[in-house]
């Protein structure tokens, strides 16, 4: 009787173990993989550059905007209280990865 019980448990356990080793994945996992692949394909291969000159301004100071923000980028930005805002438009809500590339020169 014990041998039959042991063999039955061993057989059922083997079936579960072998069933877990197959290549089939749950539908929810497949859907998640598909969603991630589609999401990654939305991103361009190369970064999109937003020029600071034509898309930026100094907040609440139009005179500073004309002297700091140029077509080729910012220049003569010396007052720490000046805040530069930059505008860009996206067509639909999305997750963004944003990076800023800047350089500074110290006048002595």
pLDDT tens-digit profile of 60-69? 988 888 888 8
Residue 70 domain-assigned? yes
Residue 6 domain-assigned? no
- The answer for residues whose C-beta is within 8 angstroms of residue 86's C-beta and 6 or more apart is 50, 52, 55, 56
Closest CA to 58 of 71, 69, 72: 69
50's tokens: 């937003």
pLDDT digits (tens, 9 = 90+) for 35-81: 676 666 666 667 777 777 778 888 998 888 888 887 667 777 788 88
Residue 72 domain-assigned? yes
Residue 25 domain-assigned? no
Distance between alpha carbon 86 and the CA centroid of its chain, in Å?
19
26/45: higher pLDDT: 45
Residue with tokens 């140029």: 70
The yes-or-no verdict on residue 3 having pLDDT over 60 is yes
72's tokens: 């080729």
Residue 64 domain-assigned? yes
Residue 20 domain-assigned? no
């Amino acid at each position: 009787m014990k041998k039959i019980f042991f063999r039955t448990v061993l057989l059922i356990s083997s079936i579960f173990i072998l069933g877990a080793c197959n290549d089939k994945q749950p539908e929810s996992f497949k859907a998640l993989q598909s969603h991630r692949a589609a999401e990654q394909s939305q991103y361009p291969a190369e970064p999109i550059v937003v020029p600071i000159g034509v898309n930026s301004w100094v907040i609440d100071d139009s005179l500073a905007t004309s002297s700091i923000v140029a077509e080729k980028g910012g220049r003569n930005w010396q007052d720490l209280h000046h805040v530069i805002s930059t505008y860009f438009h996206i067509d639909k809500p999305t997750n963004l990865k944003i990076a800023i590339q800047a350089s500074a020169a110290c006048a002595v």
